[in-house]
Each structure stands twice: as structure tokens, then as C-alpha cells.
Amino acid sequence: MNVVSFFAGCGGLDLGFEEAGFHVVWANEFEPHCRATYIRNHPNTEFVLEDICKIAPNTIPNCDGFIGGPPCQSWSVGGKQKGLDDVRGQLFLKYIELINAKKPKFFLIENVKGMLDDKFKGVFEDFLTQLNDAGYNVQWALLDAVNYRIPQNRERVFFVGFRKDLNVSFSFPLPTCDKPITLEQTIGDITEVPNFLSGGKIKDSSKKTNKNNQYPNHDVLASKFGSFYYRGNRRRGWQQPSFTINATADFAPLHPSSPKMMYYGHENWNFQKDKLDKYRRMSVRECARIQTFPDNFIFEYENIKDAYKMIGNAVPPRLGHEIAKSIFIALDGIDQTCAVNHNQHNNINNDIVLVGYYKGDKHKQLILKNQLYYVRSDGRKGSMFKNECAVMPQYLLLHYKNDAEIYELNAEEPVLANASFIKTLGFATSGDTYLCFQLKSAKPRMICDIVDHSVSLHFDTRNYAPYFTTIKEILE
């Protein structure tokens, strides 16, 4: 399937989609410093260096999907948060305009968590309305990259929309790890001394050259740390994931070999004065590793600050890959029906059902919005463990008091997730770890679709702990 990319930068999101089996046929970017890097690493993609506001819809190739993340500075808490009062914020509207004009099967939009701030609530809802009016069913989620084998805490909002006429069932990918990947696992093998660049442009900088440099782009900005740098802790240890890799070179996280910073009070941190020569920022290659760019992805730059900017602005390729796989699966199922064939009813009685309780309408709506049902798995009352799921349930019976509905579940093994992921979906949690079961659709199954005759449901309405049973045992 072919996609086109907007706000492509150096192509992190594009790389993830390519690795998932999509073909990025055309890419647009406004920043000239991205051009050489993108072309070098995406030789089969037509690259267009142009202001998106000057691009006519008829110049964009026909494709299956649009992908891209409009500039985030208008919404970022690290910026002035001018929203649509910022010209860059208005580019979001231009992107929607092009989606409406070309009507691809799907689109993906990525942006910062700041979009969810209360001050932008009206704008956020207006974006969703415009996308809905353009003919798309839209889902959005706040994802933290650390839950997807990416060694940094990085929360970003993702919108995915499919044309309504396609009747696509889509779910955002569930976490792929239950504990973070550490800095030691990610960059611990890079032991050589980096090239220290004291200025922006390489030709104007004093440069300490490591003639045996094994890793490409192992350059580090060695200029003075600005006053803003000391407003927070900039160092994490070897056994932790990194802070967010941002687009400003001056604020790149400290290398974990650096001494700890000293805390003196709110927004008042500093270096240990007897160890000042031991502090350094992450190198360009180390930041790229943390963003999950492979070492054979080479960054071209005359100014090292442009390198940090390209990397920090990118969607981590590994996260792009996970979302792309979910989109691919959704599109692959367009012509497939989830209905149970009545010829299979002889075997349906043995199908496994997970009986699960929900706490009320608000809780139910969150379950259906995320197409996810979660069960505690931390050993406390009502917990369920992964080894109990050796046989996967085909259905979820969701009940509250005397109300009950049956939903079809995906066949994948449930994912073990921590509480922080569950909270990002809007749920209130009281435990530490949870098993996550993915619904195929937010629409309940009709009982007559499952069996040939009229039935009533039998289950323990007072049992709030989840349990497994069979279709035969809950039907009469």
C-alpha cells in the first residue's frame, strides 16, 4: 500500500511505515536542512522541499494513506502555546484540508501532549469535528513511547482516521513491553570518545577528532549550558530510560556517565562543582539510538544543532512501525467479516468466554472507545495471571447489574501492561499490573449471530472478579 508523508523531517515515521510493509511514494518537508538526510535514507521516495500551504492537491500522488505530524511548537508546554494564533498551528488545518481534498483510505496525525490542555479543548474538538465532516471515523490516543520498547519517556497524541465507507475496525497497538528498556541496553556499547563540537557549524568549531570512531554521527555539542538547563534534572542513570529526546540541542539530556545533578529547590538544579568536566550531553548517535534509528541511518548536517533537531522532531521509527502494523491489519480486514458462520455452530458451544464486570456507563464507554478490557494481574483479589490464558477466550461477556452484552475478542495473547499505560487511556487504576484483552469491535455481537436459537444469558451477576467459562455454560 502506498502512503504520502507530510512534515516528513528526516523520515522517522516514514521508516517505521516502510518496515511495516507500506511504500512511502512521496514526502514533503519545509526545512532545507532535512533534505540531504531524507534523500540519503529514503532513496525510493520522491522528496518535495516546499511549504505545505503552496501544495495543490492535484500534485500529490494518489495513495492509500496520509501520514505526518504538523509542527508541535504551537501546542508544546515548552513553547508559548499560541495554538491557532501561531502560523505553525494553522498548518494543522491545512493538513486536514488536503485530507479532505484527496480522501485517502486512512490518515495518521502525530502531535504533542500539550494539545490536550484545557486551553485547547475547543480547538481539539473542532479538529475532530472537521475530520468527521470530511468523512472519517477518527480515534485518538495518548501513547508513551516507553511502553513500546523505546528507551525514553515520550508522550505523544496520535489520531488515526479511516474513511467511513470502508467500515474499518481499528485499535491502537497495545504495549509491547512490561518494563522499560534502559540506557545501558541502548547505548552501553558506545564506549568510545565522541567528537566534541564547541560551535554550531562543524567548520567553525574546535573539534576533538577520534580517528578510530566506530559509530557514525558520534558528535556531541560541547557549548555552554544555558541558564534554562538548570531548571530541572537533565540526567538519568544507566538502569533507567532516557528523558524525552527533544529538538533543541542545548537541552539534550546528559549522558548517564555524567555525575548526578544537585537539587537546591523548585526549578533549581546544578552541577557538582568539583566534577564540572565530567558532564556532557548525549551525542547525535546516542540520541538517534534512543529514538530507535538504526546505526545505518546516517544524518547529514553542517550544523550539529540541525542534527539534534531532526532527531528530536522525529516520531521514533519503532513506534511508527507498531502503529503502521495496526493500520495494516485494519485495512487487511476490510473485506473480511467477523460474523460467525452458522455452519460452525456445532463447535461454538465450546468457545471460551471471559466474563468481566464494568463499573458503570462511563467505565463502559472508555472500554469501548479503547476497545480494551483490562484485568488486574498483581496478585490481589480479583487478579488473573497470564498463565491462566493458555487458551484464549473468543468472547467477552461485559456485565453491570443485570445488563450484559457479548463482544468478540482478538485472538492475540493478552498483553501485560503497567498502571501508567492504563491511566493514559483514561481509566482510574488501583493496581500495578494488568492483563489487556483487545476487542475486535466496539459493537456487541447479536446472540443470534452466535447460536441458531433464541437464548438468555446465565452468569453470576454478583461476581465482580473476572472468570472464564464457555458459551455452552452461559446460554440456555
User: Residue 280 gets which letter from DSSP?
Assistant: -
Are the C-beta atoms of residues 127 and 220 closer than 8 Å to each other? no
The C-alpha cell that represents 139 in the structure block = 480515534
Residue 432 phi/psi, 5-degree rounding, is -105, -45
- Closest C-alpha among 436, 360, 351 to residue 400: 360
Cβ neighbour number for residue 288 with a 10 Å cutoff: 30
H or E element in which residue 125 lies: helix 121-133
Q: Which candidate in 63, 72, 389, 436 is catalytic?
A: 72
E-strand ranges in 439-474 read: 467-470
Residue 34 annotated among the catalytic residues of the structure: no
Contacts (Cβ under 8 Å, ≥6 apart) of 268: 230, 231
- Closest C-alpha among 392, 354, 391 to residue 375: 354
Are the C-beta atoms of residues 330 and 173 closer than 8 Å to each other? no
The C-alpha atoms of residue 85 and residue 33 are separated, in whole angstroms, by 26
User: Residue 311 gets which letter from DSSP?
Assistant: H
Are the C-beta atoms of residues 215 and 222 closer than 8 Å to each other? no
Strands 195-197 and 155-163: unpaired
The C-alpha atoms of residue 312 and residue 454 are separated, in whole angstroms, by 58
The C-alpha cell that represents 125 in the structure block = 474538538
Are the C-beta atoms of residues 70 and 95 closer than 8 Å to each other? yes
Q: Active-site residue numbers?
A: 72
